[in-house]
Amino acid sequence: MLALFFMDVSGGLFALGGVALAAAFSEMRAWREARERRTSSIYELRRTTYALAQRQVEDVAAAIAKWTNESAPADDAWTALTVALATKNEVSLIAGSPDVGQAMSTVLRVFRDALLAGTPALPKPSEERRALLEAFRRDLGLPN
């Protein structure tokens, strides 16, 4: 009879241990899924911000090209550059590496220097733009 009592107690403890183990595994799965959602959200934010940054760099280049052809005032180029610099700050905040923000700064600096010179001359920062695109792709984990 005492043996049956200990078997019932040990069976109950075994069942309780199984419930606790199932709860622990459930918590671990929930934590892993939440981490994956955060990672996916950050990746999506980086991807959209980098695409926006690339478009704004193109807008700056177009505004400076119009300025060099004297079909638009330099104010338009300065406005486009200001918007791109604001996006560069966002890029620097969300980038996985400081190289990404630095690459965008380098491209925008070339355009800024051209505007500060005051003479309508079209800069061609093709190497800097290539480095910016590579930095974006590297930070997103895409092949170059």
Going from the C-alpha of 143 to that of each of 9, 66, 135, 139, the distances in angstroms are 59, 34, 11, 10
Cβ neighbours of residue 95 under 8 Å, at least 6 residues apart?
46, 101, 139
Q: How many CB atoms lie within 10 A of CB 115?
A: 18
pTM above 0.85, yes or no: no
**Interatomic CA distance for residues 72 and 6, integer angstroms:** 91
Chunked in runs of 10, what are the mean pLDDT values of the chain (144 residues)? 57 68 74 71 90 95 90 89 95 90 94 89 90 91 81
